Amino acid sequence: MARICELCGKRGQFGSAISHSKTRSKRRFKVNLQTAAVDGKKKRICTSCLKKRRKTHKG
């Protein structure tokens, strides 16, 4: 299963891993996905969407 948020479509990004000697190599920043119930169905959503949902449903 792909690491993509099912609500906003956020994906992983590429960046640089910088060592102590300042050499750079490519690395990937993965999305922090959590399973949560959205409209009664389990979905894999990112933590920023989870936080937004908690704020809107707070009441």
**What pLDDT digit, counting tens, does each position of 7-59 carry?**
999 999 999 999 999 999 999 999 999 999 999 999 999 999 999 998 887 75
For 30, residues 6+ apart whose C-beta sits below 8 A from its C-beta are 3, 12
Q: For residue 47, report the phi and psi dihedrals to the nearest 5 degrees.
A: -70, -25
Domain assignment present for residue 41? The answer is yes
Instruction: Please tell me the predicted confidence (pLDDT) of residue 34.
Output: 97
Q: For residue 8, report the phi and psi dihedrals to the nearest 5 degrees.
A: -105, -15
Domain assignment present for residue 3? The answer is no
Domain assignment present for residue 5? The answer is no
Domain assignment present for residue 19? The answer is yes
Domain assignment present for residue 33? The answer is yes
Domain enclosing residue 23, as ranges: 13-56
Instruction: Please tell me the predicted confidence (pLDDT) of residue 29.
Output: 97
User: Is-contact 29 46, C-beta < 8 A?
Assistant: no
Domain assignment present for residue 8? The answer is no
The total number of structural domains in the chain stands at 1
Instruction: Please tell me the predicted confidence (pLDDT) of residue 59.
Output: 57
Domain assignment present for residue 7? The answer is no
pTM (whole model) above 0.75: yes
Chain mean pLDDT for the chain:
94
